[in-house]
Amino acid sequence: MTPARYLAGRVLRAVFVVWAAFTLAFAALRLLPGDPVALMLSGRGGFDTLSPRDIARAKAELGLDRPLPVQYGHALLDALHGDLGASLQTGQPVTRMIADALPSTLALGGTALALALTAGSALAVSAHLAVSPAVRQLLRSLPAFAVSLPSFAVGLLLIQLLSVRWHLFPSLGGTGVAGLVLPACTLAIPGAALVAQVLGKSLHTVLREPYADTVRATGAGRARLLLGHGLRNAAIPAVTVVGLLVGYLIGGAVVVETVFSRPGMGRITQAAVATQDLPVVQGVVVLASFVFAVVNLGVDLLYPVLDPRIRATGRLVTS
């Protein structure tokens, strides 16, 4: 398989994922019970004063009276031009709202991802490098413990200890680096545990492969074996997890932003779902799927870099 074909196949798949997310979100929101227009208008004035005629007029303005396929076609066309519509609640363009909220969430998610990867890898490697068997055992059982902690509980615990008792970090809000530490840690802990688990398991397998014996038989030390040969071979399954991890971080951000009262995508999502603000929810879904697709595209492109055998066949090799 040529690199160009490999690349084209993966890009096509990413585009499909975003399109499918857009379409599913559109369908799901239109099928929900409740009338978004009535909700919108009731937010602005008394519901009782609304005549059916007012509602019909509002619907016509928003194009919601047209047949669903036509609505879908327009929405898709607009989305392709970067127009995701306007919020039913505030009338603000959805892209504008997202652009305002995104940096804060990106900072949170990016920091959490970086933390999860470094801490997880460090834990997995040190669990194999530690000399004392007791320490090794402890380091190996840590991820299983951490992965089972719910993030809201971790968040509350961190607030309790680090903010309320020791006053190290602000508990709520906060926009600077100091405000980022607690939420990012909360979000990163289960991710780090996941990375440590998968990478640790993978390292364990790789270091028992016959080629590990070959390396040791040349006189190489444990560190060289682990860092020079083991890590790259073990990284392939771990990289797959990064793709999944991003999905988890997107969902986790909603919870963590709520717990720490941080502005961001999580807050927008929560509000939009509560008020059935269709265009906003749709925009959030499309954005999330876009991020997810791009990250997984990156993962797919990383495989052949890590494993030369995939360069030849375009397929994962297990042996």
Partner 1 sequence: MTSAPAGTTRPEAVSQDTPVLRITDLRVGYRTAAGTRTAVDGLDLTAAPGRITAVVGESGSGKSTTAHAVIGLLPPGGRVEHGSVRLEGEELTGLSERAWRDVRGRRIGFVPQDPGVSLDPVKPVGRQVAEVLRVHHLATGRGAAQRAVDLLAAAGLPDPARRSRQYPHELSGGMRQRVLIAMATAARPRLLVADEPTSALDVTVQRQILDHLEALAADTGTAVLLITHDLGVVADRAQHVVVMSRARVVEAGPTREVLADPRHPYTRRLLADVPRLTPRARPATPPAPPAEATSLPRPSPGPAPGSRPAPLSGSAPPVPGPGPASAAGPSGDAPDPGVLLRVRGLTLSFPLRGPGPRRRHLAVDGVGFDIPRGRTLGLVGESGSGKSTTARLVLGLERPEAGTVELDGVDVTAVRGAARRRLHRRVQLVHQNPYASLNPRFTVEELLTEPLRNHRVGDRAQRAATVRRLLDDVALPADVLRRRAAELSGGQRQRVAIARALALGPDLLVCDEPVSALDVTVQARILELLLGLQERHGMAYLFISHDLAVVGQVSDRVAVLRAGHVVEEGATDQVLRTPRHPYTRELLAAVPGRRNPHTPHDPDTPDVPEEEPGETPGEAAARTPHRHDRPTEDTPWS
Residue 233 binds partner 1, judged by CB under 8 A? yes
The residues pairing with 93 across neighbouring beta strands, listed in sequence order, are 86
Residue 228 binds partner 1, judged by CB under 8 A? yes
Q: Which is nearer to partner 1, 158 or 235 (CB)?
A: 235
Stretch that binds partner 1, among 69-77, 278-286, 293-301, 308-316 (CB under 8 A): 308-316
Stretch that binds partner 1, among 98-106, 117-125, 184-192, 228-236 (CB under 8 A): 228-236
Residue 221 carries which DSSP code? Answer: -
- Sorted by sequence, the CB contacts under 8 Å of residue 225 that are 6+ apart come out as 207, 212, 215, 216
Residue 227 binds partner 1, judged by CB under 8 A? no
Please tell me the distance from the alpha carbon of residue 133 to that of residue 115, in angstroms, as a whole number: 26
Cα-Cα-Cα-Cα dihedral sign, residues 293, 296, 297, 298: positive
The residues pairing with 86 across neighbouring beta strands, listed in sequence order, are 93
In whole angstroms, how close is the CB of 256 to partner 1 at the nearest point? 36
Residues numbered 203-222 forming contacts with partner 1, rule: CB under 8 A: 209-211, 213-222
Q: Which is nearer to partner 1, 66 or 216 (CB)?
A: 216
For the chain, the distance separating the N- and C-terminal CA atoms, rounded to the nearest angstrom, is 20
Residue 223 binds partner 1, judged by CB under 8 A? no
Residue 307 binds partner 1, judged by CB under 8 A? yes
Q: What is the DSSP string of 69-106?
A: HHHHHHHHHHHHTT---B-TTT--BHHHHHHHHHHHHH
In whole angstroms, how close is the CB of 222 to partner 1 at the nearest point? 8
Helix (H) or strand (E) holding 252: helix 231-259
Name which position in 56, 274, 312, 316 contacts partner 1 (CB under 8 A).
312
Stretch that binds partner 1, among 57-65, 171-179, 293-301, 307-315 (CB under 8 A): 307-315
Could you tell me the two tokens for 207? 């270091």
Residue 309 binds partner 1, judged by CB under 8 A? yes
Q: Which is nearer to partner 1, 80 or 312 (CB)?
A: 312
Q: What are the phi and psi torsion angles at 86 (to 5°)?
A: -120, 155
Long-range contacts of 97-101 (CB under 8 A, 24+ apart): 97/268, 97/280, 97/283, 98/265, 98/268, 98/283, 98/284, 98/287, 101/263, 101/264, 101/265, 101/267, 101/268
Name which position in 59, 136, 201, 224 contacts partner 1 (CB under 8 A).
224
Q: Which is nearer to partner 1, 136 or 216 (CB)?
A: 216
Name which position in 92, 232, 251, 316 contacts partner 1 (CB under 8 A).
232
In whole angstroms, how close is the CB of 2 to partner 1 at the nearest point? 5
- 């490697």: which residue's tokens? 125
Binding residues for partner 1, rule: CB under 8 A, are 1-2, 209-211, 213-222, 224, 228-229, 232-233, 306-309, 312-313, 317, 319
